[in-house]
Structure 1
Amino acid sequence: MGGTGSGGGVDVRHPSTPPETGPRRRTWSRGGLMRGKKKVCKPEEWSRNVAKKKRNLGEAYISVKTGNLIPAKVMGPPCSDGCYDTIPLPTRECMFKQFWEVGDYMVQKSFLQKQVKQVPVKRHRKTKTPDNPGKRRSYNLQYTLTMSGTSYPVCKKGFLNILGIKTGRVETAIKTVNAAGITQPDKRGRRPRTTYTVSQQCQATTHHQGNNSTSQVPSKQPE
């Protein structure tokens, strides 16, 4: 027989009976506020992370800053040096596909650094005006694309158009290589966020309101 409680009722629930399952009920905290179910953080679903992933894959995405649709990457038109004639179309398509399907910015940058070589300039042309020699480059860039162990020397435009990238992408990759040939780490997004205390925010708000009040031009009073 089951034991009786202080109120005389019989407790028929077995001690090993599992608790009731179902949606979590809302409870009340000490401050009198209702607490609901804690949300799970999913960074992979954030709009900026979704846009970043698609951008690294060369897919179309919505810009977080402007809200505009950025089209997907495609191969550009042929160059005037005949690079498209020396590389068959299936090979060019495979080069383009393998570059973008990696989906990793650092891996793509490392690839560009290996395929673009800095060659020292052996001879400089004489300037027409000795008083204004201008800037002289100390090196030239040689572009090469490799597929299945075969290297294809290409011009700058052919290199960019086959991979569907712009000049800035190559320049950024070259700048991050030091004199020893070591790639420097990516410093984008490493700047610490500026944090303010409540008192600092109040002071900034008061200062902003004070500037607005002093800059306003008083209306002309009727005579």
Structure 2
Amino acid sequence: MKEARKTGNDCKFKYKYFERVTEEDRACIFKKFNEIGDKILQDTYLSGLISVFPVSRVRTKDGSGHSRTVSNKYTVRLGKQSNIVCKKAFCALHGISTKRVERLAMCLKQDDCLTSPK
């Protein structure tokens, strides 16, 4: 039997993104996300919380390294307010894997997100 989904642990990031969200709000975010039920609808919801934008500055030490072309910003909604969080906190608050978030971000980057289940 598959283990039930649950919120993850604190991201321990220096900006303390996870701590910016109260325990009550964490439970509310998790409950709201799980009430959606359908995976495609969940992915649509999550995609609305991920922003993809071009990298503003490329810094490679020798100029030969592979550089990213986009950066991602993750937000969580608390009522009418949106809070920026790190990727790890975003995954933990929704009880999802980083692979799922990476797939959604890649879809958003390629602008073909959610056309068919993957």
> TM-score band, normalised by the shorter chain?
0.7 to 0.9
Cα distance change, pair 74–137 in 1 and its aligned pair in 2 (3 A): same
Moved over 6 A (4+): none
Equivalent-residue separation in structure 2 for 1:184 and 1:108 (angstroms): 10
Paired AA for residue 74 in structure 1? K
Paired residues of 2:5 and 2:95 also in contact (CA < 8 A)? yes
% identity of equivalent residues: 28
* Shift, 1:177, TM fit: 3.6
Paired residues of 2:40 and 2:117 also in contact (CA < 8 A)? no
Q: Paired residue for 1:74?
A: 6
Q: Paired residue for 1:183?
A: 113
Give secondary structure in 2 for the equivalent of 1:78. coil
For residues 106-157 of structure 1, the C-alpha deviation after alignment (integer angstroms, 9 at most, x for no partner) is 11111111111112111111323x4xx1311011111100121011110111
Alignment TM-score, normalising by the size of structure 1: 0.48
Give secondary structure in 1 for the equivalent of 2:48. helix
Q: Describe how 1:37-186 pairs up with structure 2 within 5 A.
A: 69-81=1-13, 82-128=16-62, 130=63, 133-177=64-108, 181=111, 183-186=113-116
Equivalent-residue separation in structure 2 for 1:111 and 1:76 (angstroms): 19
Structure 1: runs of 5 or more not aligned:
1-68, 189-223
Paired residues of 1:178 and 1:184 also in contact (CA < 8 A)? no
Q: Paired residue for 1:12?
A: none
Structure 2: runs of 5 or more not aligned:
none
Alignment TM-score, normalising by the size of structure 2: 0.87
Equivalent-residue separation in structure 1 for 2:117 and 2:92 (angstroms): 27
When the two chains are superposed, the root-mean-square deviation of aligned CA atoms in Å is 1.8
* Aligned length, in residue pairs: 116
